[in-house]
Chains A and B, each alone.
Chain A
Amino acid sequence: MEGGSGGSCSSMEKVMGNYGDQPHVLAVDDNLIDRKLVEKLLKNSSCKVTTAENGLKALEYLGLGVDGRNKLDTNVSKMNLIITDYCMPGMTGYELLKKIKESSIMKEVPVVIMSSENIPTRITKCLEEGAQMFMLKPLKQSDVKKLRSDLMSCRR
């Protein structure tokens, strides 16, 4: 069950508008094999990719302190999409999503949640919290191409 787009096109445009041809994606997953896979899938769709192995490292990269306060040198202006696994030790993908949506500087960046488990309540919870999309693992090239074109279709 895939989620429909939760964000409005114009807010995505603001974030996506200036990336040229290579959106910068932050991919978060605690599984090494999955990180390598999602990175390749995204690179095959002409994305620049940074990976993180957990929520804390992702927040650090984004320049968001764990306490919610923003640090000075953030990578936010360069980040066009965050794609994260749901089941991670420590901070789940859902908790990471919440932190991003609570941040005044990062909340416009689309967040996609991935999971190997198809649990409707989980999916609804993520979409309600502002996730752009929910994707089932294992990801296929066609899933990522569709994601890319959905993001592109908001560009004018």
Chain B
Amino acid sequence: MDGLVQFQRQLVDYTASLFHEGFLDEQFNQLQQLQDESNPDFVVEVVSLFFEDSERLLNELAKSLDQQSVDFKRIDAHVHQLKGSSSSIGAQRVQKVCIAFRNYCDEQNTEGCLKCLQQVKHEYSLVKTKLETLFKLEQQVLAAGGSIPLPI
């Protein structure tokens, strides 16, 4: 029983820290609230889609910025997608960089865009690690016989 309480405590604390540090926002809570018995892996499924989609977009962005003649419209379209998905899952810090990124696209500023690409890759990699850790902590709770508390 001690183990379970320990794991639950860890999960609650870790989740709180992710919100506190701005990695996640309220939209992530919305996602968790959508999960139910008919779809118990909903959050993991959506987040996995987000990982796949983001990696694809980041690759496209790197390629586009590497061209002789930079196609800012194309880059903006990709960043718009990334901004949308990160917003939809509550990945706040990724979303914020996307906003700055789009401004540089509007200005047709290649340097600025390259800087933002580095930033967004960094933020993406951070939130990916954090979310994977969060899911592992959830698994621990479940394996110890507990259940995941719903966000308030």
Contact: A137 with B84, CB < 8 Å? yes
Q: Which of A48-95 contact B (CB under 8 A)?
A: 87, 89
**B45 contacts chain A at the CB level, 8 A cutoff:** yes
How many A-B contacts if CB must be within 8 Å?
A: 48
Q: Mark A32-46, 1 if CB is under 8 A from B, else 0.
A: 111011001100100
Chain A contributes a number of interface residues (CB within 8 A of B) equal to 17
Q: Mark B55-96, 1 if CB is under 8 A from A, else 0.
A: 000000000000000000000010011011101110000000
User: Within 8 Å CB of B33, what residues of A?
Assistant: 141
**B39 contacts chain A at the CB level, 8 A cutoff:** yes
User: Within 8 Å CB of B46, what residues of A?
Assistant: 33, 36-37
User: Within 8 Å CB of A37, what residues of B?
Assistant: 31, 34, 46, 88
**A140 contacts chain B at the CB level, 8 A cutoff:** yes
How far does the alpha carbon of A34 sit from the alpha carbon of B83 in the complex, in Å?
11
Contact: A33 with B88, CB < 8 Å? yes
> Which of B39, B49, B80 lies in contact with A40, CB distance below 8 A?
B39
**A116 contacts chain B at the CB level, 8 A cutoff:** yes
